[in-house]
Amino acid sequence: MNIHHLELYYYVAKHGGVSAAARRIPYGIQQPAVSAQIIQLEANLGMTLFHRRPFQLTKAGEELYRFIEPFFGGLNDVAQRLRGGGEMNIRIGSPETIQREYLPRLFKLMRLRFPGLNFTLVAGRTEQIEAGLLAQEIDVGIAPLLGKRADGIKRKELTRVPLALMVPGNFKPASANELWRQDRIAEPLITGPKDSGISQLFQIELQKRKVDWFPTLELNSQELIARYVAEGFGLGLVLVEPGATPPHGTRLLALPGFPTVSYGLLWMGILSPLQKAFFQETQTLAGAFPQKTKR
């Protein structure tokens, strides 16, 4: 039997199907390629290993999985022992603001517990972080928890943060309610992608107030939104993320009556001791940053 075919079958049996396996195999391979090689494995064995719809291992498939699981399932543990007995790197996905303002303090705490620990950072929105988890490119994410999670991804709330408008320091009117009372809001609105959960939530709340105000600029990160507001391109919709402060010459305008947004941790599978320690320190530090907006 081809060892690579067995490896692919291990992921299919473990995760309950070809499409789920393709998302979790820790190297690039497309679903059709997985399907084709599993078919070759079944042809070589002369038997069916699992039923496709609904997914269920056959008796032969169960026997084969029990045989190969200890080997493929134990590879990560062997790699850790060969490196010296433990994990020395954790891969984290989060928005850029969190990486700049929040994570440096968290890393200092972690290195007190794990000297020599290394970190790999990946910037992205929640959906990009989820994709990184599914592809096993990152170990944990810190992001807004809006919407439904993809299958297999777990979540834990750390805190709830408000929405706000980032405005120039001398901007008038002085409150969001004054802004809503205008016949027409002349200032351009700068947001993230209009299909993002935060942008959709904002538009729903505007509709409740019978306010029509749609994005003029759609940008991919709060870092960019802040930059464009500071340069005078409009007013920006932002989350008041832990530890973040508005750029010089801007301020945050509170949005009274708007719902807060859950912010937290994303991960898959069983947490390793290192990941558990990371979660503990993250939760301890989560309440350390005051959330302030000016009305």
Each residue's pLDDT tens digit, 243-293 = 667 888 899 999 999 999 998 999 988 887 888 889 988 888 776 544 444
Domain count, the chain: 3
CATH number of the domain at 154, please: 3.40.190.10
Give residue 112's domain range.
83-159+262-286
CATH number of the domain at 26, please: 1.10.10.10
118-123 and 89-94 strand pairing: parallel
Specify the pTM.
0.62
165 and 88, same domain (yes or no): no
Each residue's pLDDT tens digit, 199-224 = 999 999 999 999 999 999 999 888 89
148 and 113, same domain (yes or no): yes
155 and 169, same domain (yes or no): no
SS3 annotation, 230-281:
HCCCCEEEEECCCCCCCCCCEEEEECCCCCCEEEEEEEECCCCHHHHHHHHH
189-191 and 235-239 strand pairing: parallel
Each residue's pLDDT tens digit, 28-47 = 788 999 999 999 999 999 99
In a domain, residue 45? The reply is yes
Radius of gyration of the CA atoms of the chain, in A: 24
What the block records as the tokens of 138 is 């990152």
Domain boundary among 51, 73, 95: 73
pLDDT at 242 over 80: no
Whether residue 228 contacts residue 219, with contact meaning beta carbons closer than 8 Å, is answered with yes
